[in-house]
Protein backbone atom coordinates (compact mmCIF):
# COMPACT_ATOMS: atom_id res chain seq x y z
CA UNK A 1 0.00 0.00 0.00
CA UNK A 2 1.41 3.42 -0.98
CA UNK A 3 0.66 6.60 0.92
CA UNK A 4 1.16 10.32 1.04
CA UNK A 5 1.75 11.84 4.44
CA UNK A 6 0.87 15.49 4.72
CA UNK A 7 1.69 18.10 7.27
CA UNK A 8 -1.47 20.12 7.95
CA UNK A 9 -0.89 23.80 8.82
CA UNK A 10 0.91 25.76 6.10
CA UNK A 11 0.81 22.75 3.79
CA UNK A 12 -2.91 22.13 3.18
CA UNK A 13 -4.41 25.09 5.05
CA UNK A 14 -3.45 28.68 5.72
CA UNK A 15 -1.35 28.95 8.87
CA UNK A 16 -2.29 32.49 9.83
CA UNK A 17 -0.56 32.86 13.20
CA UNK A 18 0.83 29.51 14.26
CA UNK A 19 -1.94 28.30 16.53
CA UNK A 20 -5.31 27.64 14.93
CA UNK A 21 -7.76 27.36 17.81
CA UNK A 22 -11.01 28.45 16.18
CA UNK A 23 -12.77 26.61 13.30
CA UNK A 24 -13.40 30.02 11.71
CA UNK A 25 -9.63 30.29 11.15
CA UNK A 26 -9.42 26.98 9.28
CA UNK A 27 -9.21 27.69 5.54
CA UNK A 28 -7.74 25.25 3.03
CA UNK A 29 -5.53 26.52 0.24
CA UNK A 30 -7.62 26.80 -2.93
CA UNK A 31 -6.64 23.52 -4.57
CA UNK A 32 -6.00 21.34 -1.49
CA UNK A 33 -9.30 19.45 -1.51
CA UNK A 34 -9.11 18.72 -5.26
CA UNK A 35 -5.52 17.58 -4.99
CA UNK A 36 -6.31 15.22 -2.12
CA UNK A 37 -9.28 13.77 -3.96
CA UNK A 38 -7.17 13.16 -7.06
CA UNK A 39 -4.35 11.51 -5.10
CA UNK A 40 -6.93 9.23 -3.56
CA UNK A 41 -8.07 8.23 -7.05
CA UNK A 42 -4.44 7.27 -7.74
CA UNK A 43 -4.84 4.82 -4.84
CA UNK A 44 -2.64 6.59 -2.38
CA UNK A 45 -3.68 6.41 1.25
CA UNK A 46 -3.77 9.94 2.67
CA UNK A 47 -2.54 10.67 6.18
CA UNK A 48 -2.14 13.89 8.13
CA UNK A 49 0.75 14.13 10.60
CA UNK A 50 0.63 17.35 12.58
CA UNK A 51 2.60 18.95 15.40
CA UNK A 52 0.14 20.80 17.63
CA UNK A 53 2.33 22.13 20.41
CA UNK A 54 -0.28 24.83 21.00
CA UNK A 55 -2.18 22.19 22.94
CA UNK A 56 0.78 21.54 25.26
CA UNK A 57 1.37 25.27 25.59
CA UNK A 58 -2.22 25.87 26.62
CA UNK A 59 -2.93 28.00 23.52
CA UNK A 60 -5.28 25.44 21.98
CA UNK A 61 -7.79 23.73 24.27
CA UNK A 62 -8.25 20.02 23.44
CA UNK A 63 -11.88 20.70 22.55
CA UNK A 64 -10.86 23.57 20.23
CA UNK A 65 -8.40 21.24 18.54
CA UNK A 66 -11.22 18.77 17.91
CA UNK A 67 -13.50 21.41 16.44
CA UNK A 68 -10.74 22.80 14.21
CA UNK A 69 -9.86 19.28 13.13
CA UNK A 70 -13.51 18.50 12.32
CA UNK A 71 -13.66 21.59 10.11
CA UNK A 72 -10.40 20.59 8.39
CA UNK A 73 -11.71 17.09 7.79
CA UNK A 74 -14.99 18.35 6.38
CA UNK A 75 -13.26 20.79 3.99
CA UNK A 76 -10.73 18.16 2.94
CA UNK A 77 -13.39 15.62 1.93
CA UNK A 78 -13.96 13.68 5.13
CA UNK A 79 -12.87 10.11 5.69
CA UNK A 80 -13.61 9.28 2.05
CA UNK A 81 -10.43 11.19 1.29
CA UNK A 82 -8.40 11.31 4.49
CA UNK A 83 -7.53 7.89 5.88
CA UNK A 84 -6.26 9.04 9.26
CA UNK A 85 -5.09 12.10 11.17
CA UNK A 86 -2.43 11.80 13.86
CA UNK A 87 -1.06 14.70 15.88
CA UNK A 88 1.42 15.41 18.64
CA UNK A 89 0.02 17.63 21.41
CA UNK A 90 3.36 18.10 23.18
CA UNK A 91 5.80 20.99 23.41
CA UNK A 92 9.41 20.49 22.27
CA UNK A 93 10.49 20.70 25.93
CA UNK A 94 8.49 17.58 26.72
CA UNK A 95 10.87 15.54 24.53
CA UNK A 96 8.16 13.14 23.42
CA UNK A 97 8.70 10.65 20.63
CA UNK A 98 5.68 11.69 18.56
CA UNK A 99 6.61 15.28 17.66
CA UNK A 100 8.02 15.55 14.13
CA UNK A 101 10.77 14.89 13.22
CA UNK A 102 10.38 11.98 15.65
CA UNK A 103 9.04 8.95 13.85
CA UNK A 104 6.50 7.39 16.22
CA UNK A 105 3.37 8.59 14.39
CA UNK A 106 4.74 7.38 11.05
CA UNK A 107 5.64 4.04 12.59
CA UNK A 108 2.14 3.63 13.99
CA UNK A 109 0.64 4.19 10.54
CA UNK A 110 3.14 1.95 8.78
CA UNK A 111 2.17 -0.89 11.13
CA UNK A 112 -1.55 -0.32 11.09
CA UNK A 113 -1.97 0.20 7.34
CA UNK A 114 1.04 -1.79 6.06
CA UNK A 115 2.45 1.11 4.07
CA UNK A 116 5.39 0.68 1.71
CA UNK A 117 7.49 3.73 2.59
CA UNK A 118 9.70 3.42 -0.52
CA UNK A 119 6.64 4.09 -2.67
CA UNK A 120 5.34 6.84 -0.41
CA UNK A 121 5.83 10.56 0.19
CA UNK A 122 5.97 13.13 2.94
CA UNK A 123 4.74 16.61 2.00
CA UNK A 124 5.36 19.58 4.27
CA UNK A 125 6.23 23.25 4.48
CA UNK A 126 8.92 23.05 7.16
CA UNK A 127 12.36 21.48 7.16
CA UNK A 128 11.33 19.36 10.16
CA UNK A 129 8.72 17.71 7.90
CA UNK A 130 11.36 16.97 5.30
CA UNK A 131 13.88 15.74 7.86
CA UNK A 132 11.21 13.50 9.36
CA UNK A 133 10.25 12.07 5.97
CA UNK A 134 13.85 11.44 4.98
CA UNK A 135 14.64 9.72 8.29
CA UNK A 136 11.69 7.44 7.64
CA UNK A 137 12.85 6.58 4.10
CA UNK A 138 10.00 8.42 2.39
CA UNK A 139 10.28 10.53 -0.73
CA UNK A 140 9.94 14.17 0.30
CA UNK A 141 8.23 17.21 -1.18
CA UNK A 142 8.66 20.65 0.34
CA UNK A 143 6.05 23.28 -0.32
CA UNK A 144 8.17 26.36 -0.15
CA UNK A 145 5.63 28.94 0.89
CA UNK A 146 7.01 29.42 4.37
CA UNK A 147 8.34 32.74 5.53
CA UNK A 148 11.67 31.52 6.86
CA UNK A 149 14.59 33.16 5.07
CA UNK A 150 16.59 31.45 2.32
CA UNK A 151 19.55 30.94 4.64
CA UNK A 152 17.98 28.93 7.45
CA UNK A 153 15.29 27.19 5.42
CA UNK A 154 17.23 24.06 4.55
CA UNK A 155 18.94 23.42 7.87
CA UNK A 156 17.90 21.19 10.72
CA UNK A 157 20.02 21.36 13.88
CA UNK A 158 22.96 22.74 11.91
CA UNK A 159 22.79 20.07 9.22
CA UNK A 160 21.81 20.71 5.63
CA UNK A 161 18.61 18.88 4.73
CA UNK A 162 17.71 18.69 1.05
CA UNK A 163 14.09 18.09 0.13
CA UNK A 164 13.57 15.54 -2.65
CA UNK A 165 11.57 18.09 -4.59
CA UNK A 166 10.66 21.69 -3.86
CA UNK A 167 7.42 23.21 -5.15
CA UNK A 168 5.63 26.50 -4.61
CA UNK A 169 2.07 25.35 -4.09
CA UNK A 170 0.12 22.21 -3.35
CA UNK A 171 -1.36 21.73 -6.85
CA UNK A 172 2.13 21.17 -8.27
CA UNK A 173 2.13 17.80 -6.50
CA UNK A 174 0.04 16.42 -9.34
CA UNK A 175 2.92 17.00 -11.79
CA UNK A 176 5.50 15.11 -9.77
CA UNK A 177 3.79 12.27 -7.98
CA UNK A 178 4.28 8.82 -9.50
CA UNK A 179 0.98 7.71 -10.96
Rounded to a whole number of angstroms, the minimum distance from the CB of residue 69 to Mg ion is 15
Catalytic residue status for 147: no
Of 9, 15, 83, 125, the active-site residue reads 9
Please say which residue, 47 or 179, places its beta carbon nearer to Mg ion. 47
Distance CA 117, CA 154 (A): 23
Nearer to Mg ion, 83 or 125 (CB): 125
φ/ψ of residue 167, rounded to 5: -130, 170
Angstrom distance (rounded) from CA 165 to CA 179 = 16
Q: Applying CB under 5 A, which of residues 9, 13, 45, 55 lies at the interface with Mg ion? A: 9
Q: What is the footprint of Zn ion within residues 74-113 (CB under 5 A)?
A: 88, 90, 96, 98-99
7 counts as catalytic: yes
Q: Find the shortest distance in angstroms from Cβ 179 to Mg ion.
A: 26
87: which strand partners? Answer: 50
What are the C-alpha distances in Å from 136 to residues 104, 105, 121, 178?
A: 10, 11, 10, 19
Q: Decide which of Mg ion, Zn ion, none touches 90; Cβ closer than 5 to 8 Å per partner kind.
A: Zn ion
- In Å, how far are 47, 62, 159 from 6, measured between CA atoms? 6, 21, 23
| Among the listed residues 4, 125, 132, 173, the single contact to Mg ion using CB under 5 A | 125
Least gap, CB of 20 to Mg ion (angstroms): 11
Q: Does 10 bind Mg ion (CB under 5 A)?
A: yes
**Which range touches Mg ion (CB under 5 A), out of 4-12, 20-28, 93-101, 151-159?**
4-12
Partner that binds at residue 46, options Zn ion, Mg ion, none, CB closer than 5 to 8 Å by kind: none
Q: Which residues are catalytic?
A: 7, 9
Amino acid sequence: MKAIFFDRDGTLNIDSHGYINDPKEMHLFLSSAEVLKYLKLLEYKIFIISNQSGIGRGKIAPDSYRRVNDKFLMLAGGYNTIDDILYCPHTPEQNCNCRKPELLLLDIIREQYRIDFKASYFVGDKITDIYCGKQAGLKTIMIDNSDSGPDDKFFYEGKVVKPGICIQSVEEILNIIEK
